[in-house]
Amino acid sequence: MTATLLLAHGDDAFAISRTIAELATSLGDADRVDLAPERSPDEAVLDRARLEAASVGLFGAHVVVLRQPLRAAGRSLAGEEKLLALVRDLPDGAALALAEERPSRDVAKPPALLRRLEEAVRERGGSVVEHRAPRRAELAGWARRHASSLGILIEERAASLLAERVGGAIWETDVERGEQTRVIDSELRKLASYAGERPIAVQDVELLTADTRPASVFAITNALDRREPAAAASALRRAVEDGQPVLRIMASLQGRISDLIVARDLVDHGVPPNELTRLVGRGNARIAERVVEAARRYRPIELERMLRGLFEADLAIKRNDIDPEAAVTAWLGEQVLAGRTVG
């Protein structure tokens, strides 16, 4: 008899949950004990996971599911060793699933402990599964395939609109995508109930699916780069409604406008491309080209006024003279939407 061991990680929460459910089904719909850390580190939850896994022979078969094991270990060497020992010393006959949901922005940069945990699971004969949420232009295809797996008929344009409404067309890297597939699954089931025997149509999605596209701070700065005021205003509204801190939004805007000012000045002084790459692209020629292209859409005096306006808004917020949301909204209206003529 051997232990059953699974590590499922990534930013697709729905896929991770399904993988764990499939593990329980493969064990004859074994009972589950779900554990999650209350703090970081949380050695107590690691101790309980060890105890629950070891009790298999006394109280019958069950699957111990430990969520966010890296948070349980924290940045404590003792916690890390307890987590790795939980895997290495798992008793024969036990079943343990580790579910590590990662932020979308960090999913491509796994921490060292996650790699060590993967190695420990494989050495113990367990399985490691990574689930990354669909990115831009991938979610519509995922929706069609998932609908097919559920026996649900959906028109191609309806699947594209459904994906768009949950954020499938947003390409900025700061967007969290972990719940998008779960939302698609829920919406498909609801739409199928409404459509009955016929395929889900565009009109059904328009009627029943709310626009829940996630907010992106990068979407604001990217719209600024393209000099698209309406898009910047829309992205700002979504970010504020989503609870993004206004000071974080303003810091991103200040950083971007500062880069545009530097790029515009360097271009005006004939600085060669390799220097532009070093100074405004942080060593990346493609980024440097984008910054320079964006800077050319503005006159230097416009950029200087935009940056000065942000500093004044920041100061007003810190003096409690104005609400943060009102300050950044007023800045956008005065400096970007108004398209002021400058001399």
**Token digits for 325?**
């949301």
Q: With contact defined as beta carbons under 8 Å apart, do 19 and 13 qualify?
A: no
pLDDT at position 195: 94
**How many C-beta atoms lie closer than 10 Å to residue 55's C-beta?**
15
pLDDT at position 338: 64
CATH class belonging to 217-337? mainly alpha
What is the chain's pLDDT, residue by residue, as a tens digit (343 residues)? 577 999 999 999 999 999 999 998 888 877 889 999 999 999 999 999 999 888 865 555 689 999 999 999 998 899 999 999 999 999 888 899 999 999 888 888 899 999 999 999 999 999 999 999 998 789 999 999 999 999 999 999 999 999 988 888 777 776 778 888 999 999 999 999 999 999 999 999 999 998 777 767 888 888 899 898 888 888 888 888 877 888 888 888 988 899 899 888 888 888 887 777 877 776 677 778 888 899 999 999 999 999 999 999 989 998 888 998 898 888 888 877 765 433 3
CATH number of 4-131: 3.40.50.300
Instruction: Tell me 39's DSSP state.
Output: S
d(CA 30, CA 327): 55
pLDDT at position 343: 35
d(CA 177, CA 36): 21
d(CA 46, CA 39): 12
Model pTM score: 0.69
Q: Where along the chain do its domains lie?
A: 4-131, 139-208, 217-337
3-state secondary structure of 106: helix
The pLDDT tens digits of the residues spanning 108-164 come to 889 999 999 999 999 999 999 999 999 878 999 999 999 999 999 999 999 999 998
**For the domain with range 139-208, which CATH number is right: 1.10.1740, 2.60.40, 1.10.10, 1.10.8?**
1.10.8
Q: With contact defined as beta carbons under 8 Å apart, do 30 and 62 qualify?
A: yes
With b for 16 or more beta-carbon neighbours within 10 A and e for fewer, the 198-233 pattern comes to: eebbbebbeeebeeebbbbbbbbbbbbbeeebeebb
pLDDT at position 1: 52
What is the edge-to-edge ordering of all strands in the sheet holding 62-67? 31-35, 62-67, 95-101, 4-10, 127-131
Nearest to 78 by CA among 36, 47, 99: 47
pLDDT at position 222: 85
